[in-house]
Amino acid sequence: MENFAVIDLGSNSCRMTVTQIHDDGGYTVTHRLKEMVRLSENENATELPTLQPAAIERTIAALKSFKTVYDQLPNLTLKALATAATRKATNQKKFLKQVKTELGLDIEVIPGTTEAYYDYLGVVNTLPTTNCVMMDTGGGSCELVLMVNGQAKHLVSLPIGAVSLSEKFQLDGAVPANALFKAMTFVDKLFNSVWWLRNGLNLPLVCLGGSNRTLAKINRRQNNFLDFEDIHGYRLKDTAIYKTFDAVLTQDAEGRAKIPGLAKDRADIIVGGMVPAITLMRYLDSDRMIFSQNGLREGVLFEHLTALAEQNSKVSE
């Protein structure tokens, strides 16, 4: 039996999933931990992208809390990955060295395309979808994958996310019409730069990331689902999506914090977080979203399980 832990250090949150892999190849998820660290907060306040001291302090505190859990696990395999905020930071090496010094933890900074591929693995292994456009909106980046016949035909990572868009266009409080227009125009132009994206016209969107999942959670709360957070495989029509976005837009941050299904710590970044999905839905003339609870961490797990299966196959030959 192996304990396989994956830490996903994103721009907004830091998450860890621990999975027990049994000797027969089966597996059981034993821990799902999350801390909102806002690592990318004010990262672009200086001339060059720089992780700020307060954000680093919050992140290291979160990693230390995870360490108290994984240190207790026998036969541990630990993989720690960092994405957009760390990827673009000019003080990346200093930050990683500080983590190594204080926790003895090595963090691998992965390219955006690798992040997108892990998202694809997490989705294709757990949802019955073969043709779609996948979107993972994080705090500082947005990964897009065109899935054709179950294969990742094209993938890209764009430098837009819930935190970065909210800060760039001041979408944190009450949202003026001109600010929303500027944000959606900015995102639309980015989508226009991805030549293969039009090949996804009319396909469903499979959405990952906390901001996108919030769309599903708000809807499930409104419809009195017993477990409103169980959104894996949940589907929503475009009319329901636009209605939810409209309801979010009518409130300032304080009002958004009171919307059932919307986490209070997302209230100031949720408009920026939803803008990419809403814009892409209109861009592709898509009429539905399918939500995935699984993404990067699950993709890393499936990659590991495949490697173990190949190892065992060679041994038995």
Sole residue written with tokens 């868009």: 165
What residues contact 208, with CB distance under 8 A and at least 6 apart?
119, 122, 123, 134, 135, 136, 137, 291, 292, 294, 295
pLDDT tens digits for range 37-79: 999 999 888 888 999 999 999 999 999 999 999 999 999 999 9
Per-residue pLDDT for 24 more than 90? Answer: no
Q: Which amino acid is at 48?
A: L
Q: What is the mean pLDDT of residues 7-21?
A: 96
CATH class of 116-296: alpha beta
Q: What is the mean pLDDT of the chain?
A: 95
pLDDT tens digits for range 274-306: 999 999 999 999 999 999 999 999 999 999 999
CA distance 110 to 303: 15
Q: How far is CA 78 from the centre of its chain?
A: 20
Residue 315 near residue 235, CB atoms below 8 Å: no
Band (pLDDT 50/70/90 cuts) for residue 316 is low
CA distance 198 to 102: 47
Residue 135 near residue 280, CB atoms below 8 Å: yes
CA dihedral 254, 60, 11, 214 (to 10 degrees): -50
Tell me the β-bridge partners of 290.
Answer: 206, 235
Q: What is the mean pLDDT of residues 147-163?
A: 96
Burial class of residue 170, CB neighbours in 10 A (0-12, 13-18, 19+): middle
Sole residue written with tokens 């993938």: 155
3-state secondary structure of 209: coil
CA distance 60 to 55: 9
Return phi, psi of residue 3, to 5°. Answer: -95, 115
**Nearest to 281, CA basis, from 205, 218, 179:** 205
Structurally, at CATH architecture level, domain 2-110 sits in 2-Layer Sandwich (3.30)
pLDDT tens digits for range 171-202: 999 999 999 999 999 999 999 999 999 999 99
pTM of this structure: 0.94
3-state helix, strand, coil in the chain (%, to 5): 45, 20, 35
CA distance 234 to 205: 12
- Regarding beta strands 132-137 and 142-148, do their DSSP bridges make them parallel or antiparallel, or are they unpaired? antiparallel
pLDDT tens digits for range 251-279: 999 999 999 999 999 999 999 999 999 99
CA distance 229 to 251: 22
Q: Which amino acid is at 68?
A: T
Domain 116-296 in the same topology as domain 2-110: yes
Domain boundaries along the sequence of the chain: 2-110, 116-296
Dihedral sign for Cα 233, 234, 235, 241, please.
Answer: negative
